[in-house]
Structure 1
Amino acid sequence: MVGYRIERQVAVLEVAQPPLNGLTRAVRAALMEAIDRAEEDDAADAIVLIGAGGTFPAGTDVTEYDRGLQEPFLRDLCDRVEYSEKPVVAALNGTVFGGGLELALAAHYRVAHAGTRFGLPEIHLGLPPAGGGSQRLPRLVGAAQALDMLGSGRVIGAGEAAGARLTDLRTEGDVRQAALDFCDTLRMGGTGPRRLGENVAGASDPAAFHAAIAEARAALSGDRDSLQAQIVMLVEAAALLPFEAGCALEAEIFNDCLASDRARALRHVYLAERRAAQGAPDAGPEVQAIAVLGSGGLAVQLVARALMQGLAVIWAARDGQALETAQGRMRALLATGARDTAAVEALCAGLSLATCKDAAAQAGPGAVLITERGYDDLPWPEGALRLPAYTDAVQGVGLRFVPPAHRARLVEVLQGPDASRAAVLRAAQVAQRLGKLPVRVVSDRDTLAGRLNTAMNRAADALIDLGCSPYAIDAALLDWGMPQGVLAARDRRSLVDLARIDLVSGVNWCRALVEAGRMGAAEGGGFYDWKDGTPVPSESVLTLFDAQRPPRGRPPENIRTLILGAMANEGLHLLAEGRAVRASDLDVVSIHALNLPREQGGVMKAVSLRGLFGVMRQMERLGHPDTAFWTPHPEWGRLVKNGLDFDAL
């Protein structure tokens, strides 16, 4: 776990905890013991901290936050390193993130390989640093860079100016040998420990330091309770308070945040995404090339995405003229952002065109993404992985991309009745090679996103049936953090098709609007009046609706709870049917496909945080005639009876 070896009068402490050398409780304890040993070892006059397997410790064990932190805490380890009587040199390579970077900051000196990447991503978990990083970092690099790193979680490279400020030496060679050479230099110069806790070099220009603080505080727009505001306060404390007092403030804020619903939700999402991403182990050789069949919008987006991911792409379509047009659209897509013509052409060097017949064979051990109908009659080489990505039923394996496919992160891997486990794993690996997050679904057509979205819309219709204003429904969701309301979203995609659906119970409000001449946003009016692309509540719509049911107001939290409850209930049905593998997959899908706010944890976690019993009671008391939809699944009652929540599924 932590190797100990004397090399050139240096105690080399090597953390070996695959895959990322995480600073688990056991690793922290072992490092503490190893530092004690090195200090007492007369054969060593310096200490090097290094990670085995290509990376310095890349962070802490996130699962420990929910299990309960145990001593020695990260701050204990960092203090032990900093107050070592022998100089400690951190030999940095790979990904030095979170607790790993805090450990490196606690070391007296830092030697880094030029390819090392640094980051403090705790902000994405709703947390500040826990090992004194908020106090050591500003003392080293000043307020502006510290605020940027702590407040954004941005990853920086050792070769950048910001990365260079974190290190004393960079090397293109073996970082272990560079660190040992650095120790030789310290020895020859008689140089001992240099502790950031005793250093205020980052605040050597007080005017610049406090100007950065003032700018960051002004950007908060009066929000003094957010984590961002607390990070500003911590960075300011690095210049105003003694080191120990600043670290005590950091610990207090960390403990408060750790127990918050927001941090619990963000940790849940992080772990849920990690579980989903682990779906393609041992799926064969890494995908290097794919074939794409088709010339429509999905094909254009997938070709662009594959090229951006460094894949070789073989593109074919039956209509040569359409394919030529599609290439121009694909280049325009690649040109968005900061790419110039040369950069676009460099990416397109990985593209080749082929006949439809040859495309699958040329993809080799990769896959063939079929983006539209009309390619089923092609001769498929033995072992070719055919992945239909359009909406027809699949017998084997299919992929369903969240639009726009070149940007959105999620893809659902549909496992049809004839799919083999090997093909499913290979499809997930293809998705990952495209930079996507794959979620497995046991289905020949239905997607998790589609089922959850239908439940969300069905719940909204039921609330309108019971007198709720459509604008109150959307406002409740917008205030919660969704980028758009469910009814405004209907307007944007047109109400005409939705008007044809016969509902099990209640009024088809889309049909009522279409019959009144309101087709959606493109025609100027649906649930909303649309002015220059902006939805505006319509008095005529309220008059139309109120003529069919008496208006009745509802508190925003009640609206949110009922919609989330209905979606979670549908999630329980998906789990019971065996379509969803785990409840946390439903959270991932609801965030990445339906835009539920990440800091709420996804649909199942949001209901768990509200309390299953209370949400269930609100659904049972709603009184809507669509009782089959609103009746909680039996599993819901079982969980309540046993004091559990959806995390148990």
Structure 2
Amino acid sequence: MAEARDAVEYSLQDGVVWLAVASALTPAVRKEVMTALDRAAEDAGARAVVIQGQGAGFPAGADLAEPGTALPGPTISDLCARIEAFALPVVAALHGLVPGGGLEIALAAHYRVAHGAARLGFPEVKLGLIPGAGGTQRVPRMIGAGAALDMMLGGAMIPVGRPPARGLVDVVVEGDLRAGTEAFVAALLAEGKGPRRSSEMRQGFADAVGYQQEVARRRSSLAQQPELAPREIVAAVEAAMLLPFEAGLAFESDAYETCLGSDQSRALRGVFLAERRAPRFGVPATVPLPDLKRVTVLGGGPLAAQIVFAALNAGLGVNWGTRDPVRLRSGVPQVRDAFRQRVARGGLTEAQVQERMALLRVGDSAEMTGESDMILHAARGQGNVPAPHDVVRAVAFPGRVEALGLRFAQPVYSARLIEVISGPSVTPEQLAAALALARALGKVAVRVRSTGKSLGGRLMVACQRAADALVDAGQDPYEIDRAFRDWGWSRPPFQSRDQIGLNDFAEQPRAEGAQNWSALLVEQGRTGRAAGKGVYDWSSDPGHPGEDAALRALVEGVRAPAAPMPHDLIRKLVLGAMANEGLRMLSSGMAVRSSDIDLVSVLALDLPRWRGGPMHLAGVMGLLSVRRALEGFDHPDRAFWTPEPQFAEQIKNGGGFDDLTG
């Protein structure tokens, strides 16, 4: 007979207590699990306990908002200790996703039965954290250092039937998980087996020399990496072999707290939360997201080809139309070549490529708009192509947007961002279609209220304007880039400018007395990487730009060099200018929330995820310090450098920019 106890359902059947636990291990849920275990311990008819999930997966770990906050009730570590010390055998029945703290609960159980579709993993490293409830101590005892580090450093959710996840479970059930678990527990009891505690396991230590060699190898490979959490994971796995279990738990707890309090983890958690918030478009619940099966892409240029490839690779049917057949004759082979490159890298099989290419139809634009769920205009000159009136159209190329626009971060086939431009006449149905497309493509959608401009575009312009101003002030462009490259930004301002091409930047206005350095270089034929020279010399090795003495001579012929600025001041000025631009976008309503600005900075401008975006970084650097740097920078472009009023407001309130809304 089952009895509901809020988030934990307790039932006793044939001597087995079944605890069906809610999907999230909140403090209240953990307290109820503890109470249920106490009840099972006193239940005269109980011979074993099974813990399972109520919803789509095994109970997951604490909510991301929980780390660092003082909350009542038992911790996940407390719950793990209670389960492991339980006098009756405890079995975890796993299905769906079993991540993080939920997996640590399962590892504290004495046995594990998993459905064949279950996936196990430790995603904590992606949040700048390490497993904090015994995972770094139990997993190495069970499967050794190499497999444990593969799971924890990779952060992926791994199918239970594949190594190393398979080594963590006793039985994989392909059919009914309840029936399979009942059979497993019945056999367990028939054989008289009691608790088997993972803290007492030693098979993972069998090859002590190999264990230490694996730890040393991973430590060496991470030595030059800036992120803290991976190094702490390696140290905790090493401690699992060197220390008694309880001492190892204490080591893990200390490392977890170190990571939790780090700027890196705060930034990573902020970006993770930003990805979850961004798709909240405010579409009414009465407006369903359409089920997109086939989209039309109009236009024959490089942007269209990239969108076609991304859609086909996601399993969408594509109608590709142009008014110039020559474009298609060159474009279709480009798409096929892109698939072949995936095959060469082992990402796809030839059979999969054939399946995807079979989803493609090509022809004249007017013929391609029928039997389509959405139309994407990927080039100019396609706006008057007739189509059914109820099919949503979106403008995917730069230009004015009256209703719906899409700005794909480059390269479209791999970048995860779509900025959804909400024009003055956009409808909820159009926004719903854009959100559905982003989900179908596996991309993150960020809403932008504008008539065509994107958050990424404005942030990049602000970054380049600030970098130009530093050169005006006598700073060396290569030293500016070095200040960011050493900080972890792999595409610093001037290198990024070269990779994009200088022509568009050359059109950007500058205040009187300020120099647009891109315009000067374009006049000299230095238009960027594609031309072999821009700020850098790309002619020798297009993959590795070189500094160019001729560029320095050109710059110094226009303005005199000045004493080098400290790198931290360079970063404060450029990132502060970007945050200032972010405040302008928020105050105008263009940006919905500050976390969207940071997310775009990471996904489109490639700011290091573990650093965060400029709105977050302004707080890390100190709002007062950033404001003083902007005010104290002597440059004629005062309208650009003057701090927005929100600086003073947030400084007065003791807050940062992370939670601002537009």
1:457 matched to which residue of 2? 464
2:330 matched to which residue of 1? 325
User: How far apart, in 2, do the equivalents of 1:497 and 1:233 lie?
Assistant: 48
Q: TM-score by structure 2 length?
A: 0.93
User: How far apart, in 1, do the equivalents of 2:394 and 2:575 lie?
Assistant: 33
Select the residue among 258, 268, 283 that pairs with 1:266.
268
User: How far apart, in 2, do the equivalents of 1:263 and 1:579 lie?
Assistant: 28
Select the residue among 201, 204, 207 that pairs with 2:206.
204
User: How far apart, in 2, do the equivalents of 1:211 and 1:498 lie?
Assistant: 51
Select the residue among 46, 52, 55 that pairs with 2:54.
52
Contact 1:50 1:176 in 2 (8 A): no
Q: What does 1:51-90 correspond to in 2, within 5 Å? A: 51-90=53-92
Contact 1:283 1:429 in 2 (8 A): no
1:11 matched to which residue of 2? 17
1:152 matched to which residue of 2? 154
Select the residue among 303, 318, 321 that pairs with 1:313.
318
User: How far apart, in 1, do the equivalents of 2:99 and 2:271 lie?
Assistant: 18
Tell which deviates more after alignment, 503-512 or 569-578. 503-512
Q: What does 1:209-358 correspond to in 2, within 5 Å? A: 209-221=211-223, 226-279=228-281, 283-336=288-341, 337-338=345-346, 339-353=348-362, 355-358=364-367
Note the C-alpha offset of 1:407: 0.9
Tell which deviates more after alignment, 199-208 or 540-549. 540-549
**Cα distance, 1:287–1:597 mapped onto 2, change above 3 Å:** same
User: How far apart, in 2, do the equivalents of 1:180 and 1:466 lie?
Assistant: 74
Select the residue among 571, 581, 595 that pairs with 1:570.
581
User: How far apart, in 1, do the equivalents of 2:442 and 2:240 lie?
Assistant: 38
> Matched residue of 2:424: which SS?
coil
Runs of 4+ that moved beyond 6 A: 222-225
Contact 2:507 2:519 in 1 (8 A): yes
User: How far apart, in 2, do the equivalents of 1:538 and 1:489 lie?
Assistant: 16
1:611 equivalenced with 2:622 (yes/no): yes
User: How far apart, in 2, do the equivalents of 1:316 and 1:515 lie?
Assistant: 37
Select the residue among 109, 129, 132 that pairs with 1:130.
132
User: How far apart, in 2, do the equivalents of 1:113 and 1:278 lie?
Assistant: 33
> Matched residue of 1:84: which SS?
coil
> Matched residue of 2:610: which SS?
helix
Contact 2:510 2:637 in 1 (8 A): no
> Matched residue of 1:529: which SS?
coil
**Cα distance, 1:39–1:239 mapped onto 2, change above 3 Å:** same
Q: Which residue identity lines up with residue 641 of structure 2 in the other structure? A: W
User: How far apart, in 1, do the equivalents of 2:318 and 2:521 lie?
Assistant: 45
Note the C-alpha offset of 1:624: 1.2
Q: What does 1:416-565 correspond to in 2, within 5 Å? A: 416-505=423-512, 506-516=514-524, 518-530=526-538, 531-533=540-542, 534-552=544-562, 553-565=564-576
2:179 matched to which residue of 1? 177
**Cα distance, 1:472–1:70 mapped onto 2, change above 3 Å:** farther
Note the C-alpha offset of 1:224: 11
Note the C-alpha offset of 1:358: 4.5
Once the two structures are superposed, what CA deviation does each residue of 1:2-49 show, in whole Å capped at 9, x if it has no partner? 111223321111122xxxx12221221111111111111122211111
Note the C-alpha offset of 1:527: 2.1
> Matched residue of 1:491: which SS?
helix
1:602 equivalenced with 2:613 (yes/no): yes
Note the C-alpha offset of 1:297: 1.7
User: How far apart, in 2, do the equivalents of 1:25 and 1:560 lie?
Assistant: 41
Q: Which residue identity lines up with residue 406 of structure 1 in the other structure? A: Y
**Cα distance, 1:223–1:312 mapped onto 2, change above 3 Å:** closer
Note the C-alpha offset of 1:65: 1.4
Contact 1:491 1:527 in 2 (8 A): yes
Once the two structures are superposed, what CA deviation does each residue of 1:479-527 show, in whole Å capped at 9, x if it has no partner? 1211122112223344345445442230122233344554433444332
**Cα distance, 1:610–1:381 mapped onto 2, change above 3 Å:** same
**Cα distance, 1:216–1:38 mapped onto 2, change above 3 Å:** same
Q: Which residue identity lines up with residue 152 of structure 2 in the other structure? A: L
Q: Which residue identity lines up with residue 378 of structure 1 in the other structure? A: V
Once the two structures are superposed, what CA deviation does each residue of 1:53-107 show, in whole Å capped at 9, x if it has no partner? 2211233211011434544111111111111111111111111111111111111
Note the C-alpha offset of 1:211: 2.5
Q: Which residue identity lines up with residue 179 of structure 2 in the other structure? A: Q
User: How far apart, in 1, do the equivalents of 2:377 and 2:76 lie?
Assistant: 49
**Cα distance, 1:225–1:494 mapped onto 2, change above 3 Å:** closer
Contact 2:290 2:432 in 1 (8 A): no
**Cα distance, 1:502–1:430 mapped onto 2, change above 3 Å:** closer
> Matched residue of 2:620: which SS?
helix
User: How far apart, in 1, do the equivalents of 2:289 and 2:606 lie?
Assistant: 33
User: How far apart, in 1, do the equivalents of 2:55 and 2:423 lie?
Assistant: 39
Q: Which residue identity lines up with residue 319 of structure 2 in the other structure? A: I
Contact 1:126 1:263 in 2 (8 A): yes
User: How far apart, in 1, do the equivalents of 2:450 and 2:525 lie?
Assistant: 38
Contact 1:494 1:519 in 2 (8 A): yes
Unaligned runs of 5+ in 1: none
Once the two structures are superposed, what CA deviation does each residue of 1:99-150 show, in whole Å capped at 9, x if it has no partner? 1111111111111111111110101111111110000000111111001111
Note the C-alpha offset of 1:608: 1.2
Contact 2:314 2:441 in 1 (8 A): yes
Q: Which residue identity lines up with residue 370 of structure 2 in the other structure? A: A
1:359 matched to which residue of 2? 368
Aligned CA-pair RMSD: 1.9
2:412 matched to which residue of 1? 405
**Cα distance, 1:502–1:63 mapped onto 2, change above 3 Å:** closer
Q: Which residue identity lines up with residue 10 of structure 2 in the other structure? A: Y
Contact 2:289 2:435 in 1 (8 A): no
User: How far apart, in 1, do the equivalents of 2:459 and 2:491 lie?
Assistant: 16
Note the C-alpha offset of 1:398: 1.1
1:2 equivalenced with 2:8 (yes/no): yes
Q: What does 1:190-201 correspond to in 2, within 5 Å? A: 190-201=192-203
Contact 2:96 2:119 in 1 (8 A): yes
2:595 matched to which residue of 1? 584
1:632 equivalenced with 2:637 (yes/no): no
1:93 matched to which residue of 2? 95
Contact 2:227 2:610 in 1 (8 A): no
Tell which deviates more after alignment, 250-259 or 343-352. 343-352
Select the residue among 370, 377, 392 that pairs with 2:377.
370
Note the C-alpha offset of 1:611: 1.2
**Cα distance, 1:302–1:494 mapped onto 2, change above 3 Å:** closer
Contact 1:224 1:230 in 2 (8 A): no
User: How far apart, in 2, do the equivalents of 1:49 and 1:23 lie?
Assistant: 13
User: How far apart, in 1, do the equivalents of 2:419 and 2:55 lie?
Assistant: 32
Contact 1:148 1:154 in 2 (8 A): no
Contact 1:48 1:180 in 2 (8 A): no
Contact 1:368 1:385 in 2 (8 A): yes
User: How far apart, in 1, do the equivalents of 2:481 and 2:226 lie?
Assistant: 27
> Matched residue of 1:219: which SS?
helix
Note the C-alpha offset of 1:539: 2.8
Q: Which residue identity lines up with residue 359 of structure 2 in the other structure? A: G
